[in-house]
């Protein structure tokens, strides 16, 4: 994961916000490729976070199953 590293912000003029059939209109091929690369990086980071979450969940559930049950009532 990239941690605190921040990608450079690229501004795309607001005139290019129109969409047709969910496809961006008015983007240059370079801008489209840049957006796809950013999306790929974000998706990879999300996948890594989900994998880490699954590992932590497995550890927590594994620890619960190995702990003896607590006795209820006064000692």
Predicted local confidence at residue 1, as pLDDT: 46
Predicted local confidence at residue 3, as pLDDT: 55
Rounded to whole angstroms, how far apart are CA atoms 33 and 38?
9
Predicted local confidence at residue 19, as pLDDT: 59
Q: Are 38 and 2 in contact (CB under 8 A)?
A: no
Predicted local confidence at residue 10, as pLDDT: 63
What does the domain layout of the chain look like in residue ranges? 21-66
Neighbouring C-alpha atoms within 13 Å toward the C-beta of 31:
12
The pLDDT tens digits along the chain (75 residues) read 445 566 666 666 655 565 555 665 788 999 999 999 999 999 999 999 999 999 999 999 987 766 555 555 554
């Amino acid at each position: 994961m990239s941690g605190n590293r921040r990608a450079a912000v690229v501004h795309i003029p607001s005139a290019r916000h129109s969409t047709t059939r969910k496809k961006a209109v008015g983007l240059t091929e370079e801008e489209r490729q840049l957006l796809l690369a950013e999306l790929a990086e974000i998706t990879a980071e999300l996948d890594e976070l989900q994998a880490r979450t699954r590992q932590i969940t497995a550890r927590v559930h594994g620890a619960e199953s190995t702990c003896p049950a607590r006795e209820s009532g006064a000692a």
